[in-house]
Chains A and B, each alone.
Chain A
């Protein structure tokens, strides 16, 4: 993308006034999307954005500037702005010798989406629309989205690192509205992987569309969710968002450094039930949050954060790792070249347990079974978190019975972790997600087997 000499020159400009660390992050992002809504192909969109972000670190201060101008003069200007912003005074010229390092990607891309005819993408939307509408006469509206992204990045820094990655993602989603006597309900399904158009060889999208429609139809008959504390069984796959919120964010080293998490200072302690082993793994092949290198050029890793309930380590980016004199764990990510990197999760999951999931339900006298979760949010300082349930049922006398309407679940991360009392042997990854932190969104994956929490507060409307 940008040649080695120009990168080295830019880094020299960035460090001309001193500074321990300087970095240039170059990104070329091409995206395309297609949307079918209300029985119409509403639009095809194509986007292109290219630019570089340059940062200079002096002590605990970071100066950052970005530019869409990738010429030598554009880069020099941004490098000067970043150096000025870092407010360093009396530096000397540093020569940066860049040595190239390439890391193999965990992701296998066989068909680049840009090589596929747009007509083929449109056809998929129509297929899914027909399938969803065929699921039942109560389906009153269907929206189908296709999106692909190719993100080429290049990173060079004053340590001499020069590396890059070519990241491809493809996703597909179906949202349905069902209309009944009691109003409207919605159902949604989505798939996404860090692979190319072969996504559609792996998934039958007519089946996906039908599941989204069925979800909406099922909820038409749902009764208001109960309120108060109930035993909660969370089905395989979707439960990952619980751990993403309940403890993942709390294990990010930038929050730990500011004591803004309940897990600060607790490495080596039992923080979860012995059933729980929590892993963040950026190398999981083809998963939504997988990559060869993070946005600071460090190879993705498989990081065991909690093992059998014991807290082993946090997740690290370059800056926090440097401050502690240890290596980055490959968790430094950013939304785009316009953003500073920070500690972020990749694919976060709970390792498989040993119990047959059917036994977990049978062993639950009364409670709820959550088949699909929506997004969530956590206050890392208090550990309180919420997440939405988008498909859930009552459990009565060890059996899944009636569907219940949407609501949020709320709990306290450390308490929930300690209390998990059953873990299934049916591990699965959930739907692709976007994690938001400090206004930056990055793609993440999560997964769990079926599991049970003895008491979570359900925020229903049936008092």
Chain B
């Protein structure tokens, strides 16, 4: 299939006229998803998603069009639409496709036949087993709201008139459960998951017990009093925050005056000990990949090193406008032009695990989950305030559950107040890895 995508790309690029730069992206993805409910299959979905995107740059103007199919018959219509769109763009001498930069591609093996060959019956069995295990995990579990297995196998190719012709394929498998614990008076929900490159890496026990623990431990939760306090962010929460912080370090945000960190390279922006890395060449990351959205090699980028802002991430365009090279951070699907984004973020872990960290905190809150991040964080101003639930930390021990409160600060202050990173680095099915993070002086708003 990958060869077919590359050939489709070749056939698009071969249509380029004199003075025209063309870029084709072609994607093919096969997914299955099995949901179990009440001991039976609730739904079984098998899906194939395909598409091409064509970018045209002519006379320093850019246009784009896409189609949700690999049918060669739509190429001409899509290309002529992209060409027409290009006539309306603003003239910009920095527009252009990526230039091959000789950075070597990482030797990553992200594909395993095991996913493509995994039997339907086995997928169903995993979903049903997970549902049963989650339901039996604790007598207070009232219902397993959802238990699912999902896998995907995908290929993507980028071909350009600049001589770029690359492709990659990858696969992954995932299980997750959501359970409701409680009684007639009160219910709480908890979520657990496990992810792997192939189904043999999935840990159903972990997914089930995580969902059970996260729901049952919130039962009886009350609202905390308002005040400033030290919080420990659970790995999944940290991952969400570092993804937002990295978005403020994109060359696009800097270029367009939307980053509070513009002009601050070389300055201390975070507490000593905080090192934020975006490394898509790390095979442990589930978002790893050897090429970016423009077909350049991905690379290991240290965004913040020991508290000091080191760099911004770029695609070819933002790099060119700021007189720098692409950092291999073009991100996109087939239905959009390349943006700038981080791909596989992580904080360099510290020495103590979460339990050790908690044992040395006299008064604080463990933040188990946050909600409303998309509305509660303003990545331009840095203001944030988000709904949260979790457990009180008192004299080094986890105490009573807390809910219906918010945590607030600014992203700038939060980075400076992040005093310790845990040793519990955990790769998640997202662009950022999780790890426990201790942040001082966060405003908790409750009663």
Contacts and interface: CB of A to CB of B under 8 A. Distances in A.
Contact of B46 (A37, A85, A177, A260): A85
B385 A381 contact: no
A4 interface: no
Given A118-B84, A374-B375, A68 B69 contact: yes
Interface stretch (B357-365, B398-406, B428-436): B398-406
A388 B84 CA distance: 40
B385 A408 contact: yes
Given A37-B256, A122-B88, A412 B68 contact: no
Contacts of A377: 371-372, 374-375, 387
Interface in A42-69: 42-51, 59-69
Interface in A62-110: 62-69, 81, 85-87
Nearest to A65: B46
Given A377-B387, A460-B445, A61 B85 contact: no
A228 B226 contact: yes
Given A141-B258, A384-B387, A86 B90 contact: no
Interface string B60-72: 0011111111010
Nearest to B412: A183
A184 B260 contact: yes
A43 B89 contact: yes
A408 B374 CA distance: 10
A187 B95 CA distance: 28
B44 A408 contact: no
Interface in B374-406: 374-376, 378, 380-383, 385-387, 389, 403-406
Contact of B446 (A228, A340, A461): A228
Interface residues of B, number: 84
A386 B386 contact: yes
A41 to B, nearest CB: 4
B408 A43 contact: no
B163 interface: no
B65 A45 contact: yes
B372 A376 contact: yes
Contact of B406 (A34, A44, A143, A407): A407
Contacts of A68: 48, 50, 68-69, 71
Which of B381, B405, B409 has the most A CB atoms < 10 Å from its CB? B381
Interface in A375-427: 375-377, 379, 381-382, 384-388, 405-408, 410-412
A318 to B, nearest CB: 14
B74 interface: yes
Contacts of A81: 46
A407 B88 CA distance: 39
A407 B145 contact: no
Contacts, number: 263
Dominant SS among interface residues on chain A: strand
B160 interface: no
Interface string A175-188: 00101000111100
A202 interface: no
Contacts of B69: 49-51, 68-69
Nearest to A230: B445
Contact of B43 (A340, A379, A384, A457): A340
Interface in B69-110: 69, 71, 74, 77-78, 81-82, 84-86, 88-90, 92
Contacts of B223: 457
Interface size class of A (residues with CB under 8 A): 35 or more
Contacts of B48: 66-68
Contact of B381 (A260, A338, A386, A406): A406
Interface of B: 37-38, 40-51, 62-69, 71, 74, 77-78, 81-82, 84-86, 88-90, 92, 120, 124, 142-143, 145, 180, 186-189, 223, 226-228, 255-258, 260, 335-337, 371-372, 374-376, 378, 380-383, 385-387, 389, 403-410, 443-447
27 contacts: A43-B85, A44-B86, A44-B88, A46-B81, A60-B42, A66-B47, A68-B71, A69-B69, A81-B46, A183-B381, A184-B258, A186-B380, A228-B226, A258-B143, A259-B180, A259-B187, A381-B188, A382-B187, A384-B371, A385-B371, A386-B387, A407-B383, A410-B405, A457-B404, A457-B406, A460-B408, A461-B409
Interface of A: 34, 37-51, 59-69, 81, 85-87, 118-119, 122, 140-141, 143, 177, 179, 183-186, 225, 227-229, 258-260, 262, 338, 340, 374-377, 379, 381-382, 384-388, 405-408, 410-412, 457-463
Given A177-B380, A338-B47, A412-B404, 19 more contacts: A34-B88, A41-B88, A44-B86, A45-B66, A47-B66, A51-B69, A64-B47, A118-B85, A118-B88, A183-B381, A258-B180, A259-B142, A260-B143, A260-B189, A382-B187, A385-B371, A406-B376, A410-B445, A460-B445
